[in-house]
Structure 1
Amino acid sequence: MEITATTVTQLQEKLSGLKKEIQKVIVGQDIILDEILVALLAGGHCLLEGVPGLAKTLMVRTLSQALHLPFRRIQFTPDLMPTDIIGTEILEEDHATGKRFFKFNKGPLFSNIVLADEINRTPPKTQSALLEAMQEFEITYGGQTYPLDRPFFILATQNPIEQAGTYPLPEAQLDRFLLYIKIGYPTAEEEANILRSTTGSKKAVVNPVVNGEDIRQLQSLVRDVAINDELILLVSELIRATRPDTTTVAYVKEWVRWGAGPRAGQALILTAKARALYKGRYAVTMEDIQAMAYPVLRHRVLLNFKAEAERISTDDVTRELLQTITRTKGVI
């Protein structure tokens, strides 16, 4: 299907309608919703972190209701096995011939939107079962490869304060998440609105406004959003400056143990393009780079023990790098 200017306008209107449908249920959290939708447009996956009671699961479920796409929720537990999420072979019998054969029974990962709830409660063996699906958009079992339907979007949640009985995600898997989104407490006004809207008998009805074809077209459009060479070089410099062995930024040398790899630069440019399209623009600006740098680098820059002891966060490092590089380049 050819994508015309009229089609683009219609798709952007649907995006606006998508957020409005979600906001029927989710009060506030505008930046969080924007980042989730940007990841969806960019074709990547999200890791959501927040204390209990901040509507992480409700947010993902509401998104699935506003999208006309199949949705599955997987509750990650310590006894969850890889076959519980990717599927397994079962022995069946052909009643006509009496012959027995193995048939692959697809697991809940075979869906367009997957909520991996409390992903850090399951052991690394099961966590790693997601890697191929997240990166290659396919699943291999018994020597047979099964492609996943597009769009394929994993949203994983984790609780940052309860560490007993949890298994921190390996760095290789963290890197597969396009964005690492931290959800904070609502403002006083938002919290009052939450109490008003959730303690009565009236329930909001969320209508599906975007389908799979719309998302595929939008993901294709994201790749065509323009970005000038100056911004590409700035992203490259930003990513390289996170590496303590080669950086000239003293702040990084003091607090960072391991910097971001090239995938971080790819993620930053792609999400900046997605954000530009989401905001109704067809070219990336410095504002897009600055906004997406935090969720892109949050899980790709490893801090040293000294930083953890001093409560220096990766967001602090990203903020310092953005200020240093934009000041050096004369970019505002």
Structure 2
Amino acid sequence: MALSLQDFTDVVGRIKNEISKVIVGYSEIIDFTIIALLSGGHVLLEGVPGIGKTLLVKTLSEILNLKFSRIQFTPDLMPADITGTNIIMEDENGRKHFKFQEGPIFANIILADEINRATPKTQSALLEAMQEGSVTSGGNIYLLPKPFFVMATQNPIEMEGTYPLPEAQLDRFFFKLILTPPSQEELLEIIERTTNVETPKVNKVADGETIEELKKIVRSVPVPMAVKEYAVKIVLATHPESAYAPEKVKKYVRYGASPRGAQALILGGKALALIEGRSNVSFKNIKKVAVPALRHRIILSFEGEAEGITTDEIIEDILEKVKE
């Protein structure tokens, strides 16, 4: 099944329309979530409880007719609770053998709820699956279904009893998205939709095969050399020792973004260009995806943290100073 550029924009448009039936506002968050999915990446969502993080992921799985799995991360969760484990089975002759029982990770869309509540050992089991697209158990490798998309959430308020994700593991996430509380109008609309007899229903508009085709189209989008160089300069500018680094970076940043940051800029730019109905990537596309692609890949210095500087401010400064 070969899809055209027009098919791409049509399918994405229908996905967004269906999501907006259930989710009020957050149009940019929805766009970035779709971009990450179609780029083959994963998303880290940060926001206070009760603002629709779980609902967004569940709705997406319904619209795409994909298997959904929710994993609630807790301090006592073990890696085998996520990946699965070997259990002893007995055949009709009474002979015993091991059989691998798949864990909740064997789904297409995974909601890793409050990922920072689990121990580093358990977090790494999920992050290995995200990186490799497979699970190893008892010396055997089990491939995860495609598409495979993880949306992990973390609560920025309650930090007691949490295990913050190490920088190397944060880097595995394509985008980090921050959900803000709804406005007065949005809150009224949420109440209107959720307290009546009928709750909004969504239609299935695509499937796993379609998503895999759309991912191929994203990767086939050409990127002009000048745009590639611009993306590289932005990533280099996050490093305080770089010639491209503005004064704010030299003063407030300890470590800059990894090569994964550059990959996220280019792939995110490709997906965004297609969503906008264009078949090539512009400087504007790179700028638009820069904040969600890089905000979790920059580590502030002690001085930066003490002065309350955010990585978003650092990225905005870089976009202002680095010339196209």
1:200 to 160, 172, 196: 196
Q: 1:311: Cα distance to partner?
A: 1.4
CA distance in 1, matches of 2:180, 2:3: 39
- The match for 2:143 is 147
Amino acid across the alignment from 1:154? V
- The match for 2:115 is 119
CA distance in 2, matches of 1:24, 1:60: 14
- The match for 1:189 is 185
- Is residue 2:309 matched to residue 1:312? yes
1:161-193 deviation digits (Å, cap 9, x = unpaired):
110111101112111000000011222221221
- The match for 1:286 is 283
- Partner-residue secondary structure (3-state), 1:24: helix
Q: Which runs of 5+ in 1 are unaligned?
A: none
Asked whether the 8 Å contact 2:63–2:204 carries over to 1, the reply is yes
For 1:122-137, list aligned pairs within 5 A.
122-137=118-133
- The match for 1:64 is 61
Amino acid across the alignment from 1:147? L
1:59-92 deviation digits (Å, cap 9, x = unpaired):
1111111111111110111100000000000000
CA distance in 2, matches of 1:192, 1:310: 37
For 1:16-31, list aligned pairs within 5 A.
16-31=13-28
- The match for 2:257 is 260
Asked whether the 8 Å contact 1:85–1:109 carries over to 2, the reply is yes
CA distance in 1, matches of 2:131, 2:85: 21
- Partner-residue secondary structure (3-state), 1:23: helix
- Is residue 2:267 matched to residue 1:277? no
Asked whether the 8 Å contact 2:36–2:175 carries over to 1, the reply is yes
CA distance in 1, matches of 2:3, 2:69: 33
Q: 1:206: Cα distance to partner?
A: 1.3
Asked whether the 8 Å contact 1:11–1:214 carries over to 2, the reply is no
1:200-256 deviation digits (Å, cap 9, x = unpaired):
222111121110011000000001112100011111111111111224421101110
Q: 1:10: Cα distance to partner?
A: 2.7
Amino acid across the alignment from 1:157? T
- The match for 1:105 is 101
1:236 to 225, 232, 239: 232
Amino acid across the alignment from 1:58? L
Structure 1 runs, 4 residues or longer, greater than 4 Å off: none
1:144-174 deviation digits (Å, cap 9, x = unpaired):
0011111100000110011011110111211
1:16-65 deviation digits (Å, cap 9, x = unpaired):
11111111110000000000000011010000000112111111111111
CA distance in 2, matches of 1:32, 1:4: 25
Amino acid across the alignment from 1:14? V
- Partner-residue secondary structure (3-state), 1:173: helix
- Is residue 2:205 matched to residue 1:209? yes
Asked whether the 8 Å contact 1:46–1:156 carries over to 2, the reply is yes
1:282-302 deviation digits (Å, cap 9, x = unpaired):
111122111100001010000
CA distance in 2, matches of 1:170, 1:316: 22
- The match for 2:78 is 81
Q: Which runs of 5+ in 2 are unaligned?
A: none
**TM superposition score normalised by structure 2:** 0.97
Amino acid across the alignment from 2:303? K
CA distance in 1, matches of 2:254, 2:3: 48
- The match for 1:52 is 49
- The match for 1:94 is 91
What is the CA RMSD across the aligned residues, in angstroms?
Answer: 1.1
- Is residue 2:241 matched to residue 1:245? yes
**TM superposition score normalised by structure 1:** 0.95
- The match for 2:214 is 218
- Partner-residue secondary structure (3-state), 1:47: strand
